[in-house]
Structure 1
Amino acid sequence: MNQTTPNTQKKLTDQEMVYQLDGRPKFSIAFPLGMQHVLAMFAGNLAPMLIIATVAKASASDTVTMIQAGMLVSGLATFLQLYPIKIGRFQMGSRLPIVMGTSFAFVPTASAAAAAGGIPAVLGGALIGSIVEGLIGIFYPYLKRFFTPLVIGCTLIAIGINLLSVARDYFAGGAGAKDYGSWQNLTIAFVTFLFVVVLQRFFKGVVKTAALLFGLVFGYIVALFFGKVDFSAVGSASWFTVPMPLHFIPTFDTKVIVSFIAIYITVAMETIGNTSGITIAAFDRPATAIETAGSVIADAIGCFVAAIFGSMPQTAFGQNAGIVSMTKVINRWCISLGAAVLVICGFLPKLGAIFASIPSAVLGGALISVFAMITINGVKMLAQAGFNERNIMVMGITFAMGLGLAGNAQAIAGLPDWLKVIFSDSIAATTFVGIITNLIFPAAKTAPKTKKAAAPATVVPH
């Protein structure tokens, strides 16, 4: 018995350690927990890059380059969140179990930029916008009053509405496709969609959490039977390469930059919400100012590096925050093993080529409900803010200008150029009008404090 006691104690120690921020549980326990996070975010991490590459009519090799860079930067940005770097009084990273990935919030704005100026235009807007997000992180204690749940809720709804049109096109086979809306594309999309719904409704654990990934695999198999998968890029892709910076040389357009800045403001708020969501679920407390600012700064650094390497901007993934809330597993070593898997995948072009071959109809079927959830999360944030007379006035003006007027080139043709830059994109207009209107109609000082405290805890899934 004395010989078995140490082993028993070691097992108990490993099991208990996963519920602590620090410590190193043994690999056999830690690795599956880290992989759970990778499975939950893998599909969502790749989809925005595939969408933008298609809109930009990127070559197969360029698409693989984007995917490689996206996986690599996601892993590195997650490491920075887990193990922050301190320079003076600034901390880059939150020291919390936050998993980073490519953000869906940028898809509508990036799609418009990609259609007009290709991937370089997208990266130029992302590069400048990331600097603005970094400033938000640095000066967060002084800026947080501008970014209320009311403003962010309105912006999330605008993002969701724009994304649904993107999802519709993918569901039908991809915008501009010769077989757009064909019965084959619709069959593939509907079958994939229903498969994801069944997994989410009747299964639990990792299967339910990674329903999108399993849905993509299932839809891919269905598309094979319809002859919709092109393997040419897979055969020509290398087994191993090192992602290099500036594969795409960014170009800078004022309209694109302004639109990206508006989305970065929203993404910063998502990261703030997910950071507080994790601390409340895991530690029963709101996130500290250092943790919040560090989280946003790490997000901005990830976005900057992603743009340099040719990938889409990063953000804290809400579904991973949901996993932490559900399992209470917060050990940084466990999650760092998942981040290591993402980094390794970034050096495998063959894997990236396989994902790049996923047909548009499969993506549309798997992701259309995800895009709708962004709109619903905006509604939830508005509900947390409350529907009093003042908030309804702010929402009414914001939606009237942001969704009613903005985004129509003919309707805003007579506006001054500086206003036209803002109102050419409905998401940018919604964000800026929301911030200004929220300041013009200040909230009553007697507003219940409980609602203000609850808002940052919102976990925004992607």
Structure 2
Amino acid sequence: MPRKPTNIIYSANEKPPAGTVLILGVQHATLALLFIVYPLVAAAEAGLSFDDTQLFITSCIIFMGIATLLECLPRPGAGMLLVQIPNMAHMPLAVQSLAAGGPALYAGMSLVAAISQLTLSRFMRALRAVFPPEVCGVAVTMLGVALADPALRRVFGISGAITPDLDLRYALVSSVTLVIIVGLAIFSRGMLRLFAVAIGAAIGWILAAYLGVAPEPNASFATLPYIDIPHLGWPGVSFFSWALIPAAIITGVLSAVDMVGTVVSMQRMDDADWRRADLDQAGRAIQANCLGDIGTAITGGFASASSSAAVGVAFATGTTAWRVGAVSGILIILAAFSPRLIGVLTIIPSPVIGAILIYAAAFLTVAGMELILSRRLSDRRIFTVGLAILTGLAVAILPGLVGLTPEWAQPILESPLSISTAVAIVLNLVFRIGIRQEASREVTTADNPFTVATEFLEYQGDLWGARRDVISMAIPVVAEGVEMLLDTGVAPGKLEVRAHFDEENFDVALLYEGEPITIPDHRPSPEDLLGDAHAVARFVGYMLSKRADRLVLGTDGTREKLTLRFEH
């Protein structure tokens, strides 16, 4: 079981009290349902009729809840608090497909995107080299950056072009909401911290109503029934648009990359000793998402994806329990039975939503940076991270550049998250050219073992991107092993230090021509130190076996080989 961080009250597999689970579930479900604005915008842009729009939204909500439930269950899902929201990456594909061929064409393209995701999930282990921590860190950082634009527009009440006459009442509501959420998350304990987001949102809504910036229900709101049986459609499936298939495949791949970033964020938040991304868990998360998307496509709805905003809420409340997410999924499904409830969610003040998104964006940005810096960075890796982030920021700062590119490329280029992650993946693979996974260095009795071990392992650690704490732990152990073999004469005159790295383990082998040593199973007595050199070597070897994760004795041709393994 992973060690729970001090700032987490209920970790993924813990069982909070039923009342806490219910209230936190309502909190997450409410936030998720606020993003129904995405499919509403897509339907409006494509000119769907009122009836088609209702089917579009209803299907999206139901399968968004089902996907959330599947994601959160330990099997077949990921067993993590992964709440689904409408997938913003599907916006360009949905608008183009609906306009060109109606719901049937979008259903077909959604299936293509889902199959692309599903195919990628089957190769997650093989893709470990493609998603090292610095690439995942770029994705997580850019998740936060991608939230900045919609968050700040809501904070300042900007709906179109920015003008000098900003209404500062929006900024006031957002500021008060954000201060309350942050204050409760940092300075409070117990129930106040658990419900920090809900409390902040409630106070913000009251303030917005008092200042006159809360939206008023339209005339049709009063006619909405409290309870009604949801209606699902069957739009048919059309694949007759070869021009849109590349865009659908790209959308599927981007959705999978987004899911990996969200899963890594949750893994790191939930494990104080986090080392590497569990890509098997990420694969299960993608598969659960694909099942929801397939159901949505068949019934004529809008696809969903994991919510990065929910990650920020989980951090604020100190709760990552999957049971909270499962309850959220059930509540989202039930929301489809209440048109009046959905109507209420559409009138939550925009600056309140902006404050919540700002909180989530801040957490994700810093979490991504921390993930990047968890590894030693060589020049190659520094440029991988720096150029990838700058590319994403260029898209965010100069969005007009995207309009100059071919239409098929715009879905990937217009998203800072997508373009940054793609550049990071490509540069990571390119910069791996010429790097050997094994390196060696000769050491003689004239050398200082600690200096040699420090210079050699730090250089290779930077080049390979090994974890800082693993290299720091390996240096004194390797130096002691080299000193023991040379000073006792077991390795006469010189030996070779050979390091190997494969993401799972960091191995350092000491190879020498001489007599083999044995490692005792129990601690040698102090009198053994008064014996010959081999007795001293056995004592030191015993100590090394306790400091490394594993010590293996063997041979390499005519030379003896002592391998120190450090789990990575």
- Give yes or no for the alignment of 1:356 onto 2:341: no
Once the two structures are superposed, what CA deviation does each residue of 1:333-369 show, in whole Å capped at 9, x if it has no partner? x865554334323322211111111132232233223
Instruction: Identify if the C-alpha distance between structure 1 residues 67 and 410 changes in structure 2 by more than 3 Å, giving closer, same or farther.
Output: closer
- TM-score by length of structure 1 reads 0.71
Residue 99 of structure 1 is matched in structure 2 by 81
The whole-number CA distance in structure 1 between the counterparts of 2:39 and 2:266 is: 27
Contact kept? 2:157, 2:351, Cα under 8 Å? yes
Contact kept? 2:115, 2:252, Cα under 8 Å? no
SS at match of 1:314: strand
SS at match of 1:131: helix
Residue 379 of structure 2 is matched in structure 1 by 389
Instruction: Identify if the C-alpha distance between structure 1 residues 453 and 343 changes in structure 2 by more than 3 Å, giving closer, same or farther.
Output: farther
Superposition pairs of residues 16-415 of structure 1, within 5 angstroms: 31-50=18-37, 53=40, 72-81=62-71, 92-94=76-78, 96=79, 98-103=80-85, 106-107=87-88, 109=89, 128-176=112-160, 181-227=166-212, 228-232=214-218, 233-246=220-233, 253=244, 257=248, 260-273=251-264, 276-277=267-268, 280=271, 291-306=281-296, 308=299, 310-315=301-306, 317-318=310-311, 336-337=326-327, 339-404=329-394, 411=401
| Higher alpha-carbon deviation: 211-220 or 60-69 | 60-69
Query: What is the identity, as a one-letter code, of the residue corresponding to 1:32?
Result: G
Contact kept? 1:303, 1:313, Cα under 8 Å? yes
Residue 3 of structure 1 is matched in structure 2 by none
| Higher alpha-carbon deviation: 369-378 or 430-439 | 369-378
Gaps of 5+ in 2: 1-9, 438-459, 471-502, 506-568
Once the two structures are superposed, what CA deviation does each residue of 1:138-157 show, in whole Å capped at 9, x if it has no partner? 22222232122222322333
Query: What is the identity, as a one-letter code, of the residue corresponding to 1:238?
Result: P
Instruction: Identify if the C-alpha distance between structure 1 residues 77 and 418 changes in structure 2 by more than 3 Å, giving closer, same or farther.
Output: closer
The whole-number CA distance in structure 2 between the counterparts of 1:20 and 1:54 is: 34
The whole-number CA distance in structure 2 between the counterparts of 1:320 and 1:56 is: 28
The number of residue pairs the alignment matches comes to 418
Instruction: Identify if the C-alpha distance between structure 1 residues 248 and 162 changes in structure 2 by more than 3 Å, giving closer, same or farther.
Output: farther
Give 1:413 deviation, angstroms.
7.1
More helix by share: 1
Give 1:165 deviation, angstroms.
1.8
Report % sequence identity. 19
Once the two structures are superposed, what CA deviation does each residue of 1:419-438 show, in whole Å capped at 9, x if it has no partner? 66644544332222221111
Give 1:213 deviation, angstroms.
2.7
Cα RMSD of the aligned pairs, angstroms, is: 4.6
More strand by share: 2
Contact kept? 1:271, 1:296, Cα under 8 Å? no
Contact kept? 1:188, 1:361, Cα under 8 Å? yes
Larger relative CO (CA 8 A, sep 6+): 1 or 2? 1
- Give yes or no for the alignment of 1:432 onto 2:422: yes
| Higher alpha-carbon deviation: 114-123 or 415-424 | 114-123
Once the two structures are superposed, what CA deviation does each residue of 1:182-209 show, in whole Å capped at 9, x if it has no partner? 1333333333333323332333234323
Give 1:390 deviation, angstroms.
1.6
Contact kept? 1:146, 1:439, Cα under 8 Å? yes
Instruction: Identify if the C-alpha distance between structure 1 residues 230 and 36 changes in structure 2 by more than 3 Å, giving closer, same or farther.
Output: closer
Query: What is the identity, as a one-letter code, of the residue corresponding to 1:47?
Result: L
Once the two structures are superposed, what CA deviation does each residue of 1:378-415 show, in whole Å capped at 9, x if it has no partner? 22222123432121121233245444369857646776
Query: What is the identity, as a one-letter code, of the residue corresponding to 2:193?
Result: K
SS at match of 2:36: helix
SS at match of 1:99: coil
Query: What is the identity, as a one-letter code, of the residue corresponding to 1:385?
Result: R
The whole-number CA distance in structure 2 between the counterparts of 1:439 and 1:127 is: 29
Instruction: Identify if the C-alpha distance between structure 1 residues 211 and 73 changes in structure 2 by more than 3 Å, giving closer, same or farther.
Output: farther
Contact kept? 1:274, 1:318, Cα under 8 Å? yes
- TM-score by length of structure 2 reads 0.59
Instruction: Identify if the C-alpha distance between structure 1 residues 356 and 69 changes in structure 2 by more than 3 Å, giving closer, same or farther.
Output: farther
Contact kept? 1:138, 1:293, Cα under 8 Å? yes
SS at match of 2:34: helix
The whole-number CA distance in structure 2 between the counterparts of 1:145 and 1:348 is: 46
Instruction: Identify if the C-alpha distance between structure 1 residues 188 and 118 changes in structure 2 by more than 3 Å, giving closer, same or farther.
Output: farther
The whole-number CA distance in structure 1 between the counterparts of 2:337 and 2:279 is: 36
Query: What is the identity, as a one-letter code, of the residue corresponding to 2:139?
Result: T
Contact kept? 1:192, 1:216, Cα under 8 Å? yes
Contact kept? 1:122, 1:256, Cα under 8 Å? no
Instruction: Identify if the C-alpha distance between structure 1 residues 384 and 178 changes in structure 2 by more than 3 Å, giving closer, same or farther.
Output: closer
Query: What is the identity, as a one-letter code, of the residue corresponding to 1:397?
Result: L
Once the two structures are superposed, what CA deviation does each residue of 1:219-254 show, in whole Å capped at 9, x if it has no partner? 222222234322235322222233344598999846
Gaps of 5+ in 1: 1-17, 86-91, 455-462
SS at match of 2:230: coil
Once the two structures are superposed, what CA deviation does each residue of 1:283-313 show, in whole Å capped at 9, x if it has no partner? x998977655323311322344355563451
Contact kept? 2:67, 2:288, Cα under 8 Å? yes
The whole-number CA distance in structure 2 between the counterparts of 1:393 and 1:335 is: 38
Once the two structures are superposed, what CA deviation does each residue of 1:7-64 show, in whole Å capped at 9, x if it has no partner? xxxxxxxxxxx99969xx9xxx853243154145234313333366468658999888
Contact kept? 1:52, 1:110, Cα under 8 Å? no
Contact kept? 1:157, 1:378, Cα under 8 Å? yes
| Higher alpha-carbon deviation: 141-150 or 44-53 | 44-53
Structure showing greater radius of gyration is 2
The whole-number CA distance in structure 1 between the counterparts of 2:51 and 2:180 is: 30
Instruction: Identify if the C-alpha distance between structure 1 residues 165 and 289 changes in structure 2 by more than 3 Å, giving closer, same or farther.
Output: closer
The whole-number CA distance in structure 2 between the counterparts of 1:426 and 1:136 is: 21
| Higher alpha-carbon deviation: 352-361 or 192-201 | 192-201
Instruction: Identify if the C-alpha distance between structure 1 residues 277 and 312 changes in structure 2 by more than 3 Å, giving closer, same or farther.
Output: same
